[in-house]
């Protein structure tokens, strides 16, 4: 159920919904020049307006973000109309909001407009914060240990925003978690959504060091994943290597494969080559929208070591059988 917090970014920038990217950019530059904090020192209203138009531009200037924002507006409008119709009906015993699926996104997962925008922009504000003169606090159940960002460095030129790295395990990044971070004397909790990937950026609004005008900048956390013993990334997909035996490669087999969801059975086709990649559809990494990428399984034919006399006898028999030379195509190749 959505609260009445929807922000009309088109109205905030003063453009029509049909405006193209160039028009949106031009209008933002005009407003940014007017309300920039460096030109309005001490003016809280101008500071608030600058943040408002910056957020509007960040959404509308990006084609994909703008499309999702428009779909969200349609969903909320549809949801509101349904509630109005329900209120006017005296015969309806119970109703449920429509689970509209605009652009394959279930917007009912968001509690309000702010949650939607936070996820759309990859920023996740602190659900709660506390200050401590000693820099310590009680860790809540289910919350990771405190990471200290007190020593976050900035360059001598004083950049617009501060940056730091946050380390996550694959499990934390895949399922989502809450991290406690120490910023100077303040300890905050940051919600990490399910499906963040390496080098994702999480924006903490107003948590950076103050600018020359005394206005707090934003702090960007660059996500780093700790190495995993089995999984890795290849683009957006998860990738792993799985060893198989010679007989499994020749004859084919069904083997159990680890996935983020647990073990599953995967068919190995007969005659597979070492290095060949098999694809497990929708078994890879999750996304904040709930979709799944694929898991790529790279097959490695494991050569047996220290074979016994009995095994050697059988391998020798196979070797002596008539068969096609796999290197026949190499004959005659030279520089």
Helix (H) or strand (E) holding 200: none
Q: What is the pLDDT of residues 121-178, one digit of tens each?
A: 765 443 333 333 333 333 343 444 555 544 433 322 223 457 888 899 999 999 989 9
Smallest CA-to-CA distance from 295 within 263, 251, 250 is with 263
Whether the CB-CB separation of 186 and 128 falls below 8 Å is answered with no
Lowest mean pLDDT among 206-220, 263-277, 284-298: 206-220
pLDDT at 136: 35
My answer on whether 260 and 294 are in the same domain is yes
Count up the domains in the chain and report the number. Answer: 3
User: Which residue range forms the structural domain that includes residue 256?
Assistant: 232-321
The domain boundary, picked from 226, 257, 274, lies at 226
**H/E element, 32:** helix 21-35
Those residues whose C-beta lies under 8 Å from the C-beta of residue 197, and which sit 6 or more positions away, are: 173, 223, 225, 233, 236, 285
Clarify whether residues 115 and 7 are in a common domain: yes
Residue 198 and residue 296 in one domain: no
pLDDT at 150: 43
3-class state of residue 238 by DSSP? strand
8 A C-beta contact, residue 131 and residue 188? no
The residue-averaged pLDDT of 184-210 equals 83
210, 180: one domain: yes
- Is 248 in the same domain as 202? no
Residue 95 is predicted with a pLDDT of 38
> How far is the C-alpha of 173 from the C-alpha of 198, rounded, in Å?
9
Give the predicted TM-score (pTM) of the model. 0.55
Mean pLDDT for the chain?
79
């Amino acid at each position: 159920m959505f609260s009445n917090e929807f922000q009309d970014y088109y109205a905030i920038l003063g453009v029509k919904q049909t405006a193209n990217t160039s028009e949106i950019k031009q209008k933002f530059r005009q407003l940014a020049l007017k309300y920039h904090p460096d030109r309005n020192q001490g003016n809280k209203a101008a500071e608030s307006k600058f943040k408002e138009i910056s957020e509007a531009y960040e959404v509308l200037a990006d084609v994909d973000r703008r499309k999702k924002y428009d779909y969200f507006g349609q969903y909320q409008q549809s949801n509101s109309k349904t509630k109005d119709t329900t209120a006017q009906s005296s015969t309806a015993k119970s109703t449920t909001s429509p689970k509209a699926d605009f652009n394959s996104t279930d917007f009912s997962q968001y509690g309000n407009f702010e949650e939607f925008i936070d996820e759309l922009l990859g920023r996740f504000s602190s659900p709660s914060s506390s200050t401590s003169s000693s820099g310590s606090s009680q860790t809540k159940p289910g919350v990771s240990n405190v990471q200290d960002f007190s020593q976050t460095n900035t360059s001598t030129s004083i950049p617009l925003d501060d940056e730091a790295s946050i380390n996550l395990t694959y499990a934390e990044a895949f399922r989502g978690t809450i991290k406690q971070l120490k910023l100077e004397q303040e300890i905050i909790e940051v919600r990490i959504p399910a499906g963040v990937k390496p080098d994702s950026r999480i924006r903490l609004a107003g948590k950076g060091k103050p600018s020359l005008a005394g206005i707090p900048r934003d702090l960007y956390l660059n996500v780093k994943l700790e190495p995993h013993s089995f999984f890795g990334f290849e683009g957006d997909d998860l990738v792993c290597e799985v060893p198989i035996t010679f007989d499994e490669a020749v004859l084919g087999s069904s083997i159990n494969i680890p996935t983020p969801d647990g073990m599953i059975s995967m068919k190995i086709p007969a005659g597979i080559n070492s290095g060949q990649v098999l694809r497990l559809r929708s078994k890879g990494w999750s996304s904040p929208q709930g979709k799944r990428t694929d898991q790529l399984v790279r097959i490695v034919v494991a050569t047996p070591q220290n074979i016994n006399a009995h095994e050697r006898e059988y391998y020798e028999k196979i070797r002596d059988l008539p068969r096609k030379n796999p290197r026949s195509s190499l004959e005659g190749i030279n520089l």
